[in-house]
Amino acid sequence: MNEPLVFMFSGQGSQYYHMGKELFKENTVFRQSMLEMDAIAARRIGTSIVEEIYHPAKRVSDPFDRILFSHPAIFMVEYSLYKVLEDRGLYPDYVLGSSLGEFTAAAVSGVSDPENVLDSILEQAIVIQNSCEKGKMLAILDKPQLLNDEPQLFGNSELISINYDSHFVISGEEENIKQLTEALKEKQILCQLLPVSYAFHSSLIDPAESGYAEFLRSISIQNPSIPLVSSLTGNRLFKMDKHFFWDAVRKPMRFREAIQYLETRHTCRFIDLGPSGTLAAFVKQLIQGDSANRCCSIMTPFHQELKNLKTVESFRKPERKFTR
């Protein structure tokens, strides 16, 4: 396989108000996909996700962290962007998800219909909202060795991801993360709170597991028809377990290992279909050579998606279309 194309999907923390706004206004495929899924979500929760994403009173900088809206919103914009690329003759050789982005990767790879995946996301949001205490996630721009060097700072938090050599993420209770953030700033260590309201990938969301597991028993899944590389395992998944949809947001993320898995086998090209280009930024820190020519994103908070789409079209490989 010559330079396989990898579609990447990010999760909680990458969302913001008005994400994909240019596409929603100007691209018929994107808008139609968004509206179709919005109708499904509205029947379930009685509220339009699209109206929340593009609320005229909201600014991009406002926190978009109500899980009942942000959970489905991330999936909807990512899957709709996938449909845009498909319409333009861009097909993945691999799909790669991280955290909630695993759901989009699963839908694209044929593990389950997008409607069922969206329903699974909504159910997860409802169960977590009803079962769990609020929490926070903190990205720290420093070497993970800091965890060993300053153990007193991190005693009440959990390491959930090492994205590259100088970037890791922790989860914990709101007050503990607040105190840690202040301590790190005093030490002039760069850190950033993610726009989330729960401590995903940590034991703080365990109270939701049994309720969600009951729901998962009712869904229908099959093995991927497009190769799926998971940040849950750090390698390719050939068989799909229903509990995957819980583990994807509960267990630590191994995105770095997933990229290493791909790069030891191929010289890949990567397209980030997430809202913020977060995974593309991580990949550029992880791969060798001319990363700028092998990795790109489309959606950004600066609303350059129409311009970026033109750049991405150079990645087209129409002969690689998969059928299910």
State the Cα–Cα distance between residues 5 and 312, nearest whole angstrom: 11
- 99 catalytic residue (yes or no): yes
- State the Cα torsion 116-119-120-124 to the nearest 10°: 180
Q: 42 and 48 in contact (C-beta within 8 Å)?
A: yes
Of 28, 121, 116, 106, the C-alpha closest to 324 is: 106
Of 234, 289, 288, 293, the C-alpha closest to 269 is: 293
Q: 171 and 136 in contact (C-beta within 8 Å)?
A: yes
The DSSP secondary-structure symbol of 297 reads E
- State the Cα torsion 141-142-148-151 to the nearest 10°: -50
Q: Which of 14, 98, 99, 297 is catalytic?
A: 99
Of 21, 99, 11, the C-alpha closest to 60 is: 21
Query: Where in the sequence numbering do the catalytic residues fall?
Result: 99
